[in-house]
């Protein structure tokens, strides 16, 4: 590669956050449309009853260019509040509480993992996640707790570090990768939901 290209990249990196810019572009470019998950109301209700407080819900959208940039299969994560039957998550517009149907229907595949939390700790975990309701989305992935992205909020809500979840280097940043949660011995994969309405169960 010509030296002037390296010089241009070095110059631009002093003027703009190239990681943030690249991630923004990748997050908003979609490949040809692929049908998303569609579950009947009966199956959604049954699924709600199977989920436990603090379960982690992972999402993948097949048509997003972001899949080629963010490591791991699943690119987004939220957590299930079994009492209010809502998914707590940090999205591009900040802290969000979504119904299970709203969460699932955004994706072509959803994975569900169960942390090895006690009931008491799962309650604390969800309660702590809710304290982030005033946080904006951290598009710089800076590990700055005044703002947060999805997997960072999971780490910060795990106040006793039960998950043993740590960052992974992406380009020149240390980032919490959503899919890495499913690689931890402290989280067990219990379910995969695929388009249009297939559910695969694992040993809970």
What DSSP letter does each residue of 90-122 carry, written as one string? EETTEEEEE-HHHHHTT-SEEEEEEE---HHHH
Residue 20 lies in a domain: yes
Residue 100 lies in a domain: yes
How many separate domains does the chain show?
Answer: 1
Residue 185 lies in a domain: yes
CA distance 171 to 20: 11
Residue 3 lies in a domain: no
- pLDDT for position 4: 57
Please give the DSSP secondary-structure letter assigned to residue 62: T
CA distance 188 to 75: 18
Which segments of the chain have a pLDDT < 50?
1, 6
Residue 52 lies in a domain: yes
- pLDDT for position 61: 87
- pLDDT for position 30: 53
CA angle, residues 61, 29, 98, in degrees to nearest 5: 45
CA distance 174 to 156: 15
- pLDDT for position 86: 98
For position 87, which CATH number holds? 3.90.1720.10
Give the 3-state secondary structure of residue 201. strand
Residue 4 lies in a domain: no
What confidence tens digit (pLDDT) does each residue in 85-142 have?
A: 999 999 988 999 999 999 999 999 999 999 999 999 999 999 999 999 999 999 888 8
The pTM of the whole model exceeds 0.95:
no
- Burial status of residue 197 (CB atoms within 10 A of its CB: 0-12, 13-18, 19 or more): exposed
Print the domain residue range for 149: 16-201
- pLDDT for position 57: 98
Please give the DSSP secondary-structure letter assigned to residue 198: E
Residue 74 lies in a domain: yes
- pLDDT for position 143: 86
């Amino acid at each position: 590669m010509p030296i002037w290209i390296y010089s241009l990249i070095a110059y631009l990196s002093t003027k703009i956050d190239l990681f943030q810019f690249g991630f923004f572009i990748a997050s908003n470019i979609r490949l040809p449309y692929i049908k998303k998950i569609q579950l009947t109301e009966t199956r959604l209700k049954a699924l709600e009853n199977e989920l436990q407080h603090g379960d982690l819900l992972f999402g993948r959208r097949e048509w997003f260019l972001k899949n080629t940039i963010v490591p791991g299969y699943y690119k987004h994560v939220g957590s299930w509040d079994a009492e209010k039957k809502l998914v707590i998550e940090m999205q591009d517009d900040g802290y969000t509480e979504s119904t299970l149907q709203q969460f699932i229907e955004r994706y072509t595949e959803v994975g569900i993992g169960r942390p090895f939390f006690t009931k008491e700790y799962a309650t604390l975990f969800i309660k702590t996640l809710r304290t982030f309701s005033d946080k904006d989305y951290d598009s710089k992935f800076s590990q700055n707790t005044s703002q947060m992205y999805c997997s960072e909020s999971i780490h910060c809500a795990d106040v006793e570090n039960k998950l043993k979840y740590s960052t992974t280097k992406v380009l020149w940043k240390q980032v919490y990768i959503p899919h890495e949660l499913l690689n931890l011995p402290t989280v067990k994969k219990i379910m995969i939901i695929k388009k249009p309405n297939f559910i695969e169960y694992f040993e809970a």
